[in-house]
Structure 1
Amino acid sequence: MTDLPATPYEGDPHIGDVVVGTEELQKRVRQLGAEITADYEGRAPLLVGVLKGAIMFMADLAREIALPVEFDFMAVSSYGNATKSSGVVRIVKDLDLDLSGRHVLIVEDIIDSGLTLAYLRKNLLARHPASVEVCALLVRDGLQKRDPDLRYVGFRIPPDFVVGYGLDVSDRYRNLPYVASYLE
């Protein structure tokens, strides 16, 4: 790891190679913000952040959308403190806002199997929004059994477990300014 910004995890043996660098993240978030602005012209999307991992991405993305936006948050879990999904999705924190007639944009940090997203999409569609689309920062290639139907994708990455820019292991590494592989 050369030329990386200093972080609280400097020298941590669990931080592997950088998968997506800080500048790449910033550039792609700007591009996604411009795409969303164009696609939602005349509408005010409700950004639904999936906690906790999407918080960094959603904050940066919202600043790049040149439209009025509202925020709400959900927390769902299929990992617990593990690096592999348990296969069981549960809502830990539900939305506060009514979705009826709203244009909902789910903001996800990462799509692995797509199980959590499928559950989330089905749950939100039952609340009668005008539309539901997905903006995912990362998609781990090769792990989805079916197409997760994503409107906006930041980066497709190898199937390695990653941390940084909101992604964690046991609530650590979220504040890395880049995405790196995690070495167990």
Structure 2
Amino acid sequence: MDTERVEADLDLTQPLFSEEQIQTRLAEMARQIEADYEGRDLLLVGVLKGAVMVMADLSRELDRHVEIDWMAVSSYAGTKSSGVVRILKDLDTDLDGRHVLIVEDIIDTGLTLSWLVANLKSRGPASVEIATLLRKPEALEMPVDVKYVGFDIPNAFVVGYGLDYDEKYRNLRSIGTLAEHVYS
């Protein structure tokens, strides 16, 4: 879905990143990942549902073989993180001795991701790193070591390119700030 259609409804207050900007940054991240994991098998772990677009485009941008698996975790109640993490869908892949790259759409408070990293590290991987398209430095409550960051953004509610509000806006090709009247 094109952003102009949503902007006409006054749901987005500020466009942040166009489809072209997102694709360019993912290509740059892919080059870094290829260099860092040269000669090593890599398992990409996408965090559902938001990371679907990032995972699809990042994995297609990689000029190497990768394996892909998915995990669904939840800590959100409405628009805020509750801090209580639940596994909704676990991995199908054994992580023992594997190089794991968690692929996220956004890092907000860092609470869910810090829990997820600890959980995956307890499964015996060779390494666990994080790649995220977006990070909100002002919102971080738990320090999280992120190896690959697409963009740092302000602490605002953003939608598009996998990010949603009430399961809407995920299929926008760009990312924008959601108008407060939509979620308040």
Shorter-chain TM range is over 0.9
Q: What percent identity do the matched residue pairs reach?
A: 55
Residue in 2 that maps onto 1:69: 66
* C-alpha RMSD over aligned residues: 1.5
- Contact 2:17–2:175 (8 Å) recurs in 1: yes
Equivalent AA in structure 2 for residue 23 of structure 1: E
Q: What is the TM-score of this pair, normalised by structure 1?
A: 0.93
- Contact 1:57–1:166 (8 Å) recurs in 2: yes
Q: Which residue among 15, 19, 28 is the counterpart of 1:18?
A: 15
CA-CA distance at 1:146 after TM superposition: 4.1
Equivalent AA in structure 2 for residue 44 of structure 1: D
CA-CA distance at 1:11 after TM superposition: 2.0
Task: Count residues with an aligned counterpart.
Answer: 180
Residue in 2 that maps onto 1:157: 153
Residue in 1 that maps onto 2:112: 116
Q: Deviations over 1:50-92 (max 9, x none)?
A: 0000000010000111111000000011114x11111211111
Whichever structure has more helix as a proportion of its residues is 2
Structure 1 residues without counterparts, runs of 5 or longer: none
Distance verdict in 2 for CA 1:6–1:115, change over 3 Å: closer
Q: Is 1:128 aligned with 2:124?
A: yes
Structure 2 residues without counterparts, runs of 5 or longer: none
Q: What is the TM-score of this pair, normalised by structure 2?
A: 0.93
CA-CA distance at 1:9 after TM superposition: 3.2
Distance 2:158 2:3 in 1: 18
Distance 1:21 1:67 in 2: 26
- Contact 2:43–2:99 (8 Å) recurs in 1: yes
